[in-house]
Amino acid sequence: MSEKSKLTAAVCALALVAAGLVFATRGAQAQQTDRAKQIGKRLMCMCGCKQILTACNHVGCQVSGAMLKELDQRVARGDADDLILQSFVQEYGTEVIAEPPTKGFDGIAWFLPSIALVGGLAIVIVVILRWARRPVPASTGPKVPDELLARARAQADRETED
Amino acid sequence: MDLFGSFALILAFICALYAIGGGIGAILTRKPLLIKSARHAGMAVCVLIFLATGSLIYLFFTDNFSVAYVVAHSNRDLSTLYKVSALWAGQEGSLLFWSFLLSIYVFSVLVTYRGKHPELMPYVGVILAGVQLFFLTLNNFVASPFRVLGTMGAGGVWQVFTRADGNGLTPLLQYPEMVIHPPNLYLGYTGFTIPFAFALAALLGRYPGEKWIHLTRKWTMIAWCFQTMGILLGAHWAYAVLGWGGYWAWDPVENASLMPWLTGTAFLHSVMMQEKRGMMKVWNVWLVFCTFMLCILGTLLTRSGIVSSVHAFAQSSIGAWFVGFLAVILLVCLISFLKNRDYLRSENQLDSMISRESSFLFNNLILLVACIAILSGTLFPVFSEWVEGTKISVGAPFFNRVNIPVGLLLLFLTGVGPLLAWRRTSLESLRRNFAWPLAAGLLAGAIAFPLGCRDFFSLMCLMLSVFVVLTIGQEFYRGARVIRARTNCDFLSALVQLTLRNTRRYGGYVVHFGIVMIFVGIAGAAFNQDKQAEMTIGSTMDIGRYHLVLQSMDSKPERNYTSERMIFEVMRDSRPMMMLYPERRFFQSNEQSGTMVAIYSTLREDLYVVYAGRSPDTNVPVIHAYLNPLVKWIWFGGLVVVMGTLLALVPNRQPVLVLKTADQPVPVKGAAQAVPAPISSYERKK
């Protein structure tokens, strides 16, 4: 390989590395922003607006601005999600997390709908079974002849089907 | 005029007391004169409340700034339209407005059923007057809207003083939808008082059969329709005014409006079981009771400060009154039920697990689970603070996670339920009715997945929506085809005939179609995008297919506010599309500001641009742009739901022919024994 070719190859390699670095950094930034958004959706803004951190739209809201800045910094530092959330809890209290904890007394909030669904389902099935087993009340009217019943069924079929 | 209003309210209170006393007397003695007198007292209550409300509106129109409520919620520059909406802008006025809307219903009921149902109406009158009495107590003694400003002068003489101008209306309420959203929602809340009164009256009076259900069906549907409109208008207002890019934040006040809607929807479905099969009587009665109690609970949440919300009125002691009222209602309902529960015994049995009846049971279960999930999520922070002493938040992520699967189950049942037969459904019928819609749903999923619809719940929603729409379409198509074959008319006429023959059934299908559209719109939220940037003139922003160029900005003073406007040129796929003008308004009277969002809305997506104000650091305008797919489907869906409900309220054009049961054997000439009535004998039902 000639000197010129070596130089060209070196320049190309450097250009590739540089391009790779630029794209890699861009990718990392995009990921950070997305990650920060995702974590921001799990936090409440503490300005009193009762909105999700990323949805607080008060102009010049000092609280959400500072919180978002802190979140961005922690994401840029590469902190784990749980660690970031924990640090916000330490700073603002448990109220900062948008969802109730899954453990302890607060875990009931998560279980209640499931209990209602499972319990309700059980009740509905029991009710259906009980109704199905209930004896048919004896007919007080005269028995409808089979032929008449067949005619009624045929007529109903004709009128409800094509 | 303030004295006139106060006097009218006091008189209304006295008349309500008489309506209750006279009504109880009428129930005990059955004297026609007493029944009539109690009814007239009930009507007088309504008229007096109308007069009181009219006098408060008059005080707003005449800028009477000696009345505290007018001072707090109006000013001279406020436009006429918003002077009307100022009526319900605060605690006192909104409570009077509640009484007013309730009076419209009560007056209509008392006039419609005058001289009819003598065993039932005295009970209904007493219950309605009881509810009115509670609100009149608040209007008169707890939160009077006619309180005048003044001080105790020398010699103990009250000296009235008049302010030069008022504080003005909250900017958030100065939006056209705010003129129609609260009345709609309140008409929903108050409207559920009517089925509640009839259900309780039927239970107390042991009124026979399903009469109360027939009598209240229309009232329930009207209330439900208003509640639906109220909820959707509120969502649209939140979307267009609050400027956070969404329409539903699971705020406690929003949840409060959704809960009675869910139980009301469950009731509208389960009454069919009682009407057709004489089943679920206990369930229906309690569904109505719960719906009414949830309406009162919603009012309690809005006004008491128990849960914090951006929508709620200021914290006040009024919550204790609502808690007391709720306790009384619960006690009355419980005692009435325990005393008369034998009257609610079911008349029929269930034949099969796969039947229309069981689908109604499951539909009710899912609606109730959604209601419980919302109720528990809304109140849980309060319980948690009581038990653990720490504050927690239950925000949108919790409600979304819990309610999205529940909503999808409901969507599934929306498609399945109407196609199942009463009593029992055969496997053959299942195959015939569901094979094609199911296959089409799966096909839609198979097409959407490679096209990028990867969010699980959105994909499920799409598949189920296709399934439900096809089941509904199939019902219309089959019915219309039979009519076309029998009458030789064209398909469209057959479709119209079919619908008008059974408006309730086909109106219900239209409502289901609207609900599907709303679900599709909600599913679009999974693909929302947003961008925020500080922008100067000439700077650009790209979002999705759109390219925004900030061309200029202007500021102009209006009568009641000063507006600062950003002027954007919007290009789509490099072609100029339109101009958008997001703005902020500064209201001098109360020194508050409000957002006016600029939205370019298509069926595919909404381009939603907010001028969020100037950055405190750089003083440069901050622009927040959102791309929200399919949002328009929600508003169109709401419109379809309302149209479907109105259609279901229209009486059937042609009578529905129902096989008549033979009470007595019909003697036939020449026959050895009596045979039942011939099958061609029909009972005509409207």
Q: Residue B242 belongs to what domain range?
A: 174-403
- State whether B384 and A105 contact (CB < 8 Å): yes
Question: What is the structure's pLDDT at B671?
Answer: 41
Indicate whether A86 and A119 sit together in one domain.
Answer: no
Indicate whether A70 and A20 sit together in one domain.
Answer: yes
Indicate whether B387 and B419 sit together in one domain.
Answer: no
A108 contacts chain B (CB < 8 A)? yes
Closest CB to B361: pick one of A51, A65, A124.
Answer: A124
- State whether A93 and B622 contact (CB < 8 Å): no
In chain B, what residues touch A59 (CB-CB under 8 Å)? 584, 593, 612-614, 622
Nearest CA in chain A to B660: A152
Q: Which of A95, A56, A137 is nearest to B349 (CA)?
A: A137
CATH code of the domain containing A51 = 1.10.8
Interface of A with B in 81-100 (CB under 8 A): 93-100
Indicate whether B349 and B430 sit together in one domain.
Answer: no
Q: Produce one character per residue of B363-375: b if its CB has 16 or more CB atoms within 10 Å, e if not.
A: bbbbbbbbbbbbb
| pLDDT tens by residue, B353-370 | 777 878 888 899 999 999
Indicate whether B389 and B508 sit together in one domain.
Answer: no
Question: What is the structure's pLDDT at B314?
Answer: 54
Q: Produce one character per residue of B146-172: b if its CB has 16 or more CB atoms within 10 Å, e if not.
A: bebeeeeeeeeeeeeeebeebbbbbbb
Please check whether residue B233 is in contact with residue B177, taking contact to mean a CB–CB distance below 8 angstroms: yes
Indicate whether A7 and A71 sit together in one domain.
Answer: yes
In chain B, what residues touch A108 (CB-CB under 8 Å)? 380
- State whether A113 and B246 contact (CB < 8 Å): no
| pLDDT tens by residue, B233-279 | 999 988 988 878 889 989 888 999 999 999 999 999 988 888 877 77
- The angle, 0 to 180 degrees and rounded to 10, between the axes of the packed helices B32-61 and B2-29 is 160
Indicate whether A12 and A47 sit together in one domain.
Answer: yes
Question: What is the structure's pLDDT at B191?
Answer: 96
Number of domains in chain A: 2
Q: Give domain status of residue B30, yes or no.
A: yes
Question: What is the structure's pLDDT at B509?
Answer: 94
pLDDT band of residue B150 (cuts 50, 70, 90) is confident
- State whether A99 and B406 contact (CB < 8 Å): no
Indicate whether A53 and A129 sit together in one domain.
Answer: no
User: Among A127-136, B189-198, B402-411, where is mean pLDDT lowest?
Assistant: A127-136
Question: What is the structure's pLDDT at B560?
Answer: 76
A56 contacts chain B (CB < 8 A)? yes
Question: What is the structure's pLDDT at B678?
Answer: 40
The predicted model gives B364-382 an average pLDDT of 92
| pLDDT tens by residue, A27-72 | 334 445 778 888 988 899 888 777 888 877 665 577 888 888 889 8
A122 contacts chain B (CB < 8 A)? no
The predicted model gives B380-385 an average pLDDT of 89
Indicate whether A12 and A88 sit together in one domain.
Answer: yes
Task: State yes or no: pLDDT of B425 exceeds 90.
Answer: no
| Sequence-ordered list of residues with C-beta below 8 angstroms from that of B276, at least 6 positions apart, any chain | B422
A144 contacts chain B (CB < 8 A)? yes
pLDDT band of residue B665 (cuts 50, 70, 90) is very low
Question: What is the structure's pLDDT at B660?
Answer: 47
Please check whether residue B598 is in contact with residue B582, taking contact to mean a CB–CB distance below 8 angstroms: yes
Question: What is the structure's pLDDT at B404?
Answer: 93
Indicate whether A32 and A49 sit together in one domain.
Answer: yes
Q: How many CB pairs under 8 A join A and B?
A: 157
In chain B, what residues touch A145 (CB-CB under 8 Å)? 675-676
Interface test with B, best of A39, A56, A88, A99 (most B CBs within 10 A): A99
In chain A, what residues touch B395 (CB-CB under 8 Å)? 44, 50, 52, 98-99
In chain A, what residues touch B674 (CB-CB under 8 Å)? 142
Determine the distance from the C-alpha atom of residue B124 to the mean position of all C-alpha atoms in its chain, rounded to a whole number. 23
**CA–CA separation, B519 and B407 (whole Å):** 8
- State whether B679 and A151 contact (CB < 8 Å): yes
pLDDT band of residue B25 (cuts 50, 70, 90) is very high
- State whether B394 and A108 contact (CB < 8 Å): no
Note the ipTM here: 0.73
**CA–CA separation, B483 and B343 (whole Å):** 42
Q: Report how far apart, in Å, the C-alpha atoms of B304 and of each of B300, B316, B381, B472 are.
A: 6, 6, 15, 44
Question: What is the structure's pLDDT at A6?
Answer: 63
Task: State yes or no: pLDDT of B643 exceeds 70.
Answer: yes
Indicate whether B113 and B35 sit together in one domain.
Answer: yes
Over chain B, what is the mean pLDDT?
A: 87
Indicate whether B93 and B129 sit together in one domain.
Answer: yes
A134 contacts chain B (CB < 8 A)? yes
Length of chain A: 162
Indicate whether A69 and A55 sit together in one domain.
Answer: yes
In chain B, what residues touch A52 (CB-CB under 8 Å)? 249, 395-397
Q: Give domain status of residue B32, yes or no.
A: yes
Indicate whether A26 and A42 sit together in one domain.
Answer: yes
- Distance in Å, alpha carbon of B124 to nearest chain A alpha carbon: 31
In chain A, what residues touch B372 (CB-CB under 8 Å)? 112-113, 116
Residue bearing the bigger pLDDT, B252 or B511: B511
Q: Which residues of chain A have pLDDT under 70?
A: 1-32, 57-60, 132-144, 152-162
Question: What is the structure's pLDDT at B439?
Answer: 93
Indicate whether A82 and A15 sit together in one domain.
Answer: yes
Indicate whether A51 and A27 sit together in one domain.
Answer: yes
Q: Which of A156, A141, A126, A129 is nearest to B421 (CA)?
A: A156
Q: Residue A112 belongs to what domain range?
A: 101-135
| pLDDT tens by residue, B543-574 | 999 999 999 999 888 877 888 999 999 998 88
Q: Give domain status of residue A140, yes or no.
A: no
